[in-house]
């Protein structure tokens, strides 16, 4: 589990960003987490609640958007959402090794209080 260190970094980036914009209060953070990112949203939320104490994000809300795994089948030239752990194309049955999304871990937006 690396949610705590991930959240430490994210919070650090968010706080730096807020300071650069002349704000000393963060209201909301939005993150995107891929299904295959290996990050557990609940654990990330828990880490956030613990780490935000005493920072300018102490009252902030963390919103986590889960990004589904999307694979690409080169034979059919289509993208699909795999139904299970094996990335099997629903049309031709070929196993895809080409994942287009599902691994991302991103801080996508920040809402800051104007001061
Ligand atoms: Zn296919």
CA of 84 to the centre of ligand 1 (A): 15
Asked if residue 92 belongs to a known ligand binding site, the reply is yes
Encode pLDDT of 93-111 as tens digits.
999 989 999 999 999 999 9
Distance (Å, whole) CA 86 – CA 8: 33
Asked if residue 2 belongs to a known ligand binding site, the reply is yes
Would you say 84 and 71 are in contact if contact means Cβ atoms under 8 Å apart? no
CA of 70 to the centre of ligand 1 (A): 13
CA of 101 to the centre of ligand 1 (A): 17
Asked if residue 76 belongs to a known ligand binding site, the reply is yes
**pTM for this entry:** 0.85
Encode pLDDT of 35-65 as tens digits.
999 999 999 999 999 999 999 999 999 999 9
What number does CATH give the domain 2-68+101-112? 3.30.2320.50
Asked if residue 89 belongs to a known ligand binding site, the reply is yes
At residue 32, what are phi and psi to the nearest 5 degrees? Answer: -115, 130
């Amino acid at each position: 589990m690396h949610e705590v260190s991930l959240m430490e970094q994210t919070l650090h980036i968010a706080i730096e960003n807020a300071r650069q914009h002349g704000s000393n209060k963060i209201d909301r953070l939005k993150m995107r987490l891929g299904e295959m990112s290996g990050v557990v949203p609940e654990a990330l939320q828990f880490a956030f609640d613990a780490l935000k104490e005493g920072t300018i994000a102490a009252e902030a809300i963390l919103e986590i958007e889960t990004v589904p795994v999307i694979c690409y089948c080169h034979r059919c030239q289509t993208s699909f959402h795999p139904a299970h752990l094996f990335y099997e194309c629903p049309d031709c049955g070929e196993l895809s090794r080409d994942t287009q999304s599902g691994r991302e871990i991103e801080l996508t937006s920040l809402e800051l209080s104007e001061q």
